[in-house]
Amino acid sequence: MIDFLEKRKKYLIYLPLYLYWLILLTLTSIPGPALPTQITFNDKLEHLSAFMILGILLSLSLKVQNKFKLLKDRFFIATFIIGVVYGSLDEIHQLFIEGRSCDILDVTADTIGVSIGISLVALIMFIDRLKQPKTDLLN
């Protein structure tokens, strides 16, 4: 599966990541009074879900890229750091948006979401490896 994604990374990984990140930034820049009130979910669940998707897309993009070997080799750690830093900066950014606030519990939910996303990618990679044919080490 990773091979399939790697061959089509521009359209299946990079483009969705760019668009998704742009949507996240746009949504967190909407002033509080302009947010829809008809559709309400648990705020922390929204953060967790949003950053889980970000964690999946970011992990995959760092894994399939070939420009930065260190990021490719340590893409799980890089994804975690980037996700937590982005979540923290996004909360600080919301201090400057009318009707929005900075909440450490949102950063915590973001961190858990990124971690779940990374874990799902790790699971997919593990299953993908199990499906690959075994090579005989003695030949």
pLDDT tens for each residue of 13-65? 899 999 999 999 998 888 877 666 655 668 899 999 999 999 999 999 999 99
Spatial separation of the C-alpha atoms in residues 87 and 93, rounded to whole Å: 10
Residues 6+ apart with CB under 8 A from 49: 113
pLDDT for residue 119 is more than 90: yes
Domain annotation covers residue 96: yes
Domain annotation covers residue 139: no
Q: Are 109 and 54 in contact (CB under 8 A)?
A: no
Residues 6+ apart with CB under 8 A from 65: 9, 71, 72
Domain annotation covers residue 36: no
Q: Number of structural domains, the chain?
A: 1
Domain annotation covers residue 23: yes
Spatial separation of the C-alpha atoms in residues 119 and 105, rounded to whole Å: 21
Domain annotation covers residue 105: yes
Domain annotation covers residue 53: yes
Q: Compute how many other C-beta atoms are within 10 angstroms of the C-beta atom of residue 21.
A: 14
Domain annotation covers residue 61: yes
Domain annotation covers residue 49: yes
* Structural domain harbouring 69: 2-30+42-131
pLDDT tens for each residue of 67-101? 999 999 999 999 999 999 999 999 999 999 998 88
